[in-house]
Amino acid sequence: MPGILKHAEKAILVVATNPLDIMTHLAARYASESGLPASRVLGTGTMLDTARFRSLLGGNMGIDPHHVHGYVIGEHGDSEVLAWSTVTVANRHLEDFCKTRGMALDDAVRQNIDEKVRNAAYAIIEGKGATYYGIGSALAKLADVILHDQRSILTVSTPEDDVAGVSRVSVSLPRVVGGDGVLYTLPIPLTDGEKEALHKSAAVVKKAIDELG
């Protein structure tokens, strides 16, 4: 980090190294010592997890995933949170859309989607040894958004003062990303259960950060 900032003091730094949230937090800490705002340090976070979530939902409903909106938030890891209450299709809440179409999205279907999103990386690594295509695509998207100041809403990781009651931690939340990095974080309405799950997820990352001193 000191070497990078010595030659590129106004850089926007994109982190893809696991453990993603911890590495992003540490990168931002070192960057801040050189005067670089934390908003210019971001990790790919749950971009891939969110894309998989939308893709699986779209496949179950027979809808192009581009028209399915929902987020995976929290740690990029086992404690991540699929925010089901945020999901909309054609600007309609998921349950309302399914009811209109006479479709079932019961607990068993949701559990299946949850497991496939949460365990996708393990399945891919078992199959071909690494997940480089997915993360390569996410990095290309993120670079394009920054270079062209697209102001896209992406679930990237960056330091936050407070996440569901956990202070000074880096996890993924929906954020507007543009030419200056993370422009701002979008608050999203969550159920009490989702808030609790997000708190636990952020606490997992915070504990690891604290253990590093």
Q: What are the catalytic residues?
A: 76
In whole angstroms, give the CA distance from residue 36 to residue 30. 9
Bridge-based pairing of strands 13-15 and 41-43 is: parallel
42, 25, 32: which is closest to 5 by C-alpha? 32
3-state class (DSSP) for residue 172: strand
Q: Which DSSP helix (H) or strand (E) runs through 158?
A: strand 152-163
